[in-house]
């Protein structure tokens, strides 16, 4: 599927998208700078830019001050995007995932990082664009292995095929991080799609969805996740307009802010993350609920263009129940 999103605070939401990434040591040897690769794929206009050790992946017809992935080749453990840290909020609910599914590859930062911290974790990545996979392997520090596999397919089609298996594979952690040059493909935002995702989620599993928090569409997304899963909590970005919607499996309970920080402290001590998971835990906002009258997104009714044009701040303590 498509890439992730992470926009620097101050850049208008929906102006572009980010994703994950890292560059393979030696893939673009030398101190070259500027655009080192560009191509038109079936789905994207792709740019790879280098500035010293930092490599950036961008999508779009025109290059903009936003990105899909950004990586420091001199230190692949360094996080250069807020959302690649924020996505770890899912571990506060499911601290020992055995199987993970990621929809959207980008430069491969999130799966590569998860693989480093959880050696036994089996990771399936679904990426719609074969050229994005080639770029991740050529310019970014991304490698497949027997426990980290990339499937070139549409994310929704891939999940539909999983649902036809007997037994249906179940995942402890599902990360939805699929973006194009504008936003999340609409067929990956609807109630029907999320119902399909629920079908592959383990009872003790969680779904983490990377979205934007500063536009009216956010409330429709949250309302849709609440409708599909019944339980959904929100973590907001500290230095970006990103937010993570965390939808909970039937055996997973919502967290209070104190519980989130306690869980984060234990996980930080165990895994020694290169970022501060306790800070991530403090970005939980239990009072955020959809605005009253917000419509759920469905396959046959897509008010996306209208919603995206109606920028609105997050609303706490008003609207639909849930999201606690």
Active-site annotation holds for 177: yes
Q: Which has the closest alpha carbon to 149: 128, 127, 129, 168?
A: 127
Element (H, E) at 54: strand 54-59
* Token reading at 79: 């996080």
Element (H, E) at 262: helix 257-271
Say if residues 165 and 80 touch (Cβ distance below 8 Å).
no
In the block, tokens 């199987």 appear at 99
Cα(46)–Cα(269) distance, integer angstroms:
39
Kindly name the residue from 177, 203, 299, 300 that is annotated as catalytic.
177
Element (H, E) at 175: strand 171-176
Cα(37)–Cα(188) distance, integer angstroms:
29
Element (H, E) at 219: helix 217-229
Phi, psi of 237 (to 5 degrees): -70, 145
| Burial class of residue 238 in the structure, from the number of CB atoms within 10 Å of its CB (0-12 exposed, 13-18 middle, 19+ buried) | middle
Catalytic residue numbers, as ranges? 177
């Amino acid at each position: 599927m498509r890439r992730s999103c992470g926009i620097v605070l101050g850049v208008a939401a929906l102006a572009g998208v980010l994703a994950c990434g890292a560059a393979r040591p030696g893939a673009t040897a030398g101190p070259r700078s500027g655009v080192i690769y560009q191509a038109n794929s079936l789905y994207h206009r792709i740019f790879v830019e280098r500035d010293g050790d930092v490599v950036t992946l961008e999508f779009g017809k025109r290059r903009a001050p936003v990105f899909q992935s950004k990586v420091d080749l001199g230190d692949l453990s360094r996080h250069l995007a807020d959302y690649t840290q924020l996505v770890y909020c899912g571990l506060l609910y499911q601290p020992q995932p055995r199987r993970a599914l990621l929809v959207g590859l980008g430069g491969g930062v999130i799966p590569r990082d998860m693989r480093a911290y959880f050696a036994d974790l089996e990771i399936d990545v679904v990426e719609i664009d074969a050229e994005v996979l080639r770029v991740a392997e050529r310019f970014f520090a991304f490698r497949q292995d027997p426990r980290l596999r990339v499937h070139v397919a549409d994310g929704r089609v891939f999940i539909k095929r999983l649902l036809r298996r007997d037994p249906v594979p179940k995942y402890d952690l599902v990360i939805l991080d699929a973006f194009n040059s504008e936003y999340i493909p609409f067929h990956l935002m609807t109630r029907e799609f999320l119902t399909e995702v629920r079908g592959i989620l383990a009872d003790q599993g969680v779904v983490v969805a990377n979205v934007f928090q500063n536009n009216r569409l956010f409330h429709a997304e949250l309302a849709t996740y609440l409708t599909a899963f019944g339980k959904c909590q929100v973590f907001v970005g500290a230095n970006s307009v990103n937010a993570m919607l965390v939808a909970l499996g039937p055996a997973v309970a919502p967290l209070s802010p104190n519980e989130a920080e306690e869980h984060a402290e234990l996980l930080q001590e165990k895994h020694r993350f290169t970022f501060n998971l306790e800070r991530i835990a403090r970005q939980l906002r239990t009072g955020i609920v959809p605005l009253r009258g917000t419509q759920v997104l469905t396959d046959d009714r897509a008010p996306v263009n209208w919603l995206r044009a109606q920028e609105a701040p997050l609303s706490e303590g008003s609207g639909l129940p849930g999201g606690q």
